[in-house]
């Protein structure tokens, strides 16, 4: 595993930790969790199509289904 890959793995670990810590905090303080926020946005007229489009693109990017010339994350971020 090279240094860039290792940094990416640590970043994913950080995202997972953030989600878990925030949701525990939200539940204990009776605030909305990230899941509740996601669900709320998905009920909005504009929110649902935007979420579906972004989620589809992100999933396609992560599984590398998008050719590199069309994948903005890989094209400009790598």
Sequence spans of domains, the chain: 1-31, 44-78
Distance (Å, rounded) from C-alpha 19 to C-alpha 6? 20
Q: Mean pLDDT of residues grouped by 10 in the chain (78 residues)? A: 88 96 97 94 95 94 91 79
The per-residue pLDDT for range 51-61, each reduced to its tens digit, is: 999 999 999 99
User: Quick check: pTM over 0.85?
Assistant: no
DSSP assignment of the chain? --HHHHHHHHHHHHHHHHHHHHHHHHHHTT---HHHHHHHHHHSTTHHHHHHHHHHHHHHHHTT-S-TTT-HHHHHH-
Q: Where are the beta strands (DSSP E) in the chain?
A: none
């Amino acid at each position: 595993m090279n240094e860039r890959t290792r940094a990416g793995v640590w970043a994913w670990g950080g995202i997972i930790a953030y989600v878990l810590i925030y949701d525990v905090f939200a539940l204990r303080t009776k605030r909305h969790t990230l899941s509740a926020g996601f669900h709320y946005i998905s009920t909005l007229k504009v929110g649902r199509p935007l979420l579906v489009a972004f989620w589809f693109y992100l999933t396609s990017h992560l599984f590398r289904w998008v050719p590199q010339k069309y994948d903005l994350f890989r094209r400009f971020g790598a």
